[in-house]
Amino acid sequence: MISITIDCEEWNSPYLRGRHDIDNFNTQFSYDGNTQLLKLFSKHNVHATFFITGYYAEQHPSDVLRIFKAGHEIACHGYEHHYRNRKFNLAEDVMKGKKIIEKIIGTKIVGFRAPQVQYSLRLLEVLDSLGFTYDSSLHPAYLPGYYNNRTFPIKPHSFPYLKIKEIPVAVYPFTRLPIVWMFMRNLGVWWTQRAVNKLCRRGINPVLYFHSWEFVSMKSDNVSFLFTRNTGVRFVNMLEKFIVINKKKGRKFGKVKELI
Ligand SMILES: [Zn+2]
């Protein structure tokens, strides 16, 4: 089984790089991206997991509800989408996001992914104490100068003193090169597909992540062109191609909570 996960948040890539940009904190991009995604998922009967920030949910409660009613899993992506290099109360931020979303859908949320995949043991302890069943913030990837999580496991795992399970994001099993979002967009479907085949052969269910805003055409002078290249209809078509290839191989698409 493959899990497609969508991080749904305010666009703040320029902001995170210290750049002023008229589009910082824009939530409409993600709303419009979700419209494209819901059409695609419905066409192929795919159920996905959406990790949503509380900030986004406050602006678009009806969107959260339409995703939920379409049968997808709603999970938490924090309140604010800014976890790196910032001092804040982690438990308060998570709880704030969780409560806003649970009030909208009227159901308890069990999953979490940290903004900017800021995985840590401290995070797991906080999530465990707040009653989350799983976390999917671990991106066990190697990307020189950015990630070096080569020593972390690539399979779902638990911890001796915590109830919570960790469901890592899919990477190439040996080289640990990333295969999700901008990597699929810039390198092509084959790049992600090759790694997915390797993981499936090893009995690992690939968990892939993309962002809602990647499915609308994005332009910004304040981020690298790699952030916005092939966004919009091109990426919708790439994801559709990926779904079709894997369905032909007999693979199913399911929500992350089904992996627990
Ligand atoms: Zn995010």
Does the 3-259 domain belong in CATH 3.20.20.370?
Answer: yes
Q: Compute, in angstroms, the gap from residue 8 CA to the centroid of ligand 1.
A: 7
Q: Compute, in angstroms, the gap from residue 81 CA to the centroid of ligand 1.
A: 6
- Alpha carbons within 13 angstroms on the beta-carbon side of residue 136 total 28
What pLDDT, on a 0 to 100 scale, did the predictor assign at position 221? 93
Return d(Cα 166, Cα 179) in angstroms, integer.
19
User: What does pLDDT average to over the chain?
Assistant: 96
Q: Compute, in angstroms, the gap from residue 118 CA to the centroid of ligand 1.
A: 10
Residues 6 or more apart whose Cβ sits within 8 Å of residue 93: 78, 79, 80
Q: Compute, in angstroms, the gap from residue 53 CA to the centroid of ligand 1.
A: 8
| pLDDT tens, position by position, 69-114 | 999 999 999 999 987 778 889 999 999 999 999 999 999 999 999 9
| Domain coordinates in residue numbering, the chain | 3-259
| pLDDT tens, position by position, 137-164 | 999 999 887 778 999 999 999 999 999 9
Q: Compute, in angstroms, the gap from residue 216 CA to the centroid of ligand 1.
A: 16
In the three-class reduction of DSSP (H, G, I as helix; E, B as strand; rest coil), residue 66 is classed as: helix
Q: Compute, in angstroms, the gap from residue 227 CA to the centroid of ligand 1.
A: 13
Q: Compute, in angstroms, the gap from residue 248 CA to the centroid of ligand 1.
A: 30
Predicted TM-score (pTM) of the model is: 0.97
Between helices 233-248 and 189-201, what is the axis angle to 10°?
Answer: 30
Q: Compute, in angstroms, the gap from residue 78 CA to the centroid of ligand 1.
A: 9
Q: Compute, in angstroms, the gap from residue 142 CA to the centroid of ligand 1.
A: 19
Is 110:94 a contact under the CB 8 Å cutoff?
Answer: no
Q: Which residue has the higher pLDDT, 197 or 260?
A: 197
What pLDDT, on a 0 to 100 scale, did the predictor assign at position 87? 84
